[in-house]
Amino acid sequence: MSAPPSSAPRWMLYGASGYTGQLIAEEAVRRGHRPVLAGRSREKLAPLAERLGLELAAVGLEEMRGLVSALEGLPLVLHAAGPFIRTSESMVQACLATRAHYLDITGEIPVFENTFHHDAEARARGIALMSGVGFDVVPTDCMARYVAERVPGAHELDLAIVFSGQASPGTAKSMLEQVPSGGRVRRGGALLPWPMGKGLRRVRFTDAERTVAPIPWGDLVTAWHTTGIPNITTYMALPRAAARVVRFTYPLLQRALSVEAIRHGAERLIESRMHGPNETARNEHHTQIWAEARAPDGRRAQAWLELPEGYAFTAVAAVRAVEEVLARKPQGALTPAGTFGADFVLSIPGCRRLDALP
């Protein structure tokens, strides 16, 4: 793995004034970087820029001329302004125009798919487009590659996550945007609808056996590109009773949030009521991931990963991804593990991978 740059280049962190953006900015400065802090509101950016001693650029994503001008001379953008389904395409286009690498911290399936649609353009421009360089999807993508490499010819991949802590406003709004699309699985290489709450199973994690339910996680796209495995299911640990409630109430929620006015009202409520986890919570909470790859002949491999709280992980992983892209200069639409390898996650402090449980 490459070390932090000796003379840190300037790059842009867009969405720097948001909850996760601020954590990334602080981590970047700790690692010797000098990112330009960017976003729509100068008023929101100014206190952070002053505190960290960094430049700022106030420009909206709809202002393509101003965005391109702000990017001139910068080698890379780390995009942290969600919901990404609304914001990523403008920044991708600006990066293509200025030959700047594009990274983001999305977990939204349509955004991953859109990023890969720009693969040929990115290669022609000599830049990398890489979505999901935070908790979504660095740890799961690395685990997918790890177990897949132990089972050549695998045709099934399962990934399961145990969350702890609370969501930030940005994460909650991104989740709202995905509700109308419903559940998903990958079968035979294609993304297919899947009823939320259906397909419960039991998975042994490092601390306990838990009930998990299929969810539409970003690895349904990224793990497919990283491993080529055609059948992928992504799970989240839920109390069995909660999973059953989800199965019966999700269609109602799905229909309600398909109405734009209701969805925007919910987003305003989130902005006024929700806050991301504080520093104590980020230090105390932890997350677990389980992965299994299976081949038609019965061969299989499992692995487990213990890692820090999700937002704390994202801040470090995103800056590490910036460092790797600037050092390697990869080209095309890429995944974290496909580019940096299965062990990239182990470069994040506090991550421990296990091949077997006691």
Q: 144-160 pLDDT, tens per residue? A: 999 999 999 999 999 99
Q: What is the DSSP pairing of strand 156-162 with strand 76-79?
A: unpaired
Using CA atoms in the order 41, 44, 48, 51, what is the torsion angle rounded to 10 degrees?
Answer: 110
pLDDT by residue (tens digit) across 106-150? 999 999 999 999 999 999 999 999 999 999 999 999 999 999 999
Contact 21, 81 (CB under 8 A): yes
Higher pLDDT, 264 or 339: 339
Q: Which of 128, 29, 41 is nearest to 76 (CA)?
A: 128
What is the distance between the alpha carbons of residues 335 and 163, in angstroms, rounded to a whole number? 22
Bridge partners of residue 116, in order along the sequence: none
Residue where the block lists tokens 């009930």: 211
pLDDT by residue (tens digit) across 303-337? 999 999 999 999 999 999 999 999 999 999 999 99
pLDDT at 165: 67
pLDDT at 257: 67
pLDDT at 272: 66
**In this structure, what are the phi and psi dihedrals at residue 235, rounded to the nearest 5 degrees?**
-125, 160
What is the distance between the alpha carbons of residues 111 and 134, in angstroms, rounded to a whole number? 14
Domains, the chain: 12-135+312-341 (3.40.50.720), 138-310+349-354 (3.30.360.10)
10 Å Cβ neighbour count for 267? 16
Higher pLDDT, 282 or 156: 156
pLDDT at 253: 65
